[in-house]
Amino acid sequence: MTETCYGKMFPSLDDFVVNRPVKGAVFGYEIVSRGMATQGHQVRVDDGQWRTCEGCPGRRPCFEFSLGKAFMEQALAGR
């Protein structure tokens, strides 16, 4: 576990970005949009980074913290 990646497995959802990859330490997404409608989306996983995380002794608390941040961002976005 390092200070640079702890709790950052998922990208921040604060800034909704389209037509550009958005990346966390492991997981990311890209939303494709032309005009008013969304044409598609893709979820991405950095398999190499995930394997690195699996070898980290702090993986479980980091994953839980990352999920907590993502859930909180999602909850606040709905307000």
pLDDT-derived band at 79 (thresholds 50, 70, 90) equals: low
Average pLDDT, the chain: 90
pLDDT-derived band at 1 (thresholds 50, 70, 90) equals: low
- Tens-place pLDDT, residues 2-19: 678 899 999 988 777 889
pTM (2 decimals)?
0.82
SS3 22: strand
Give pLDDT, residue 67: 96
Orientation angle between helical segments 47-54 and 59-77, nearest 10 degrees: 130
66: phi then psi, degrees, rounded to nearest 5: -60, -45
The residue-averaged pLDDT of 40-57 equals 95
Asked if residue 56 lies in contact with residue 49, where contact means CB atoms within 8 angstroms, the answer is no
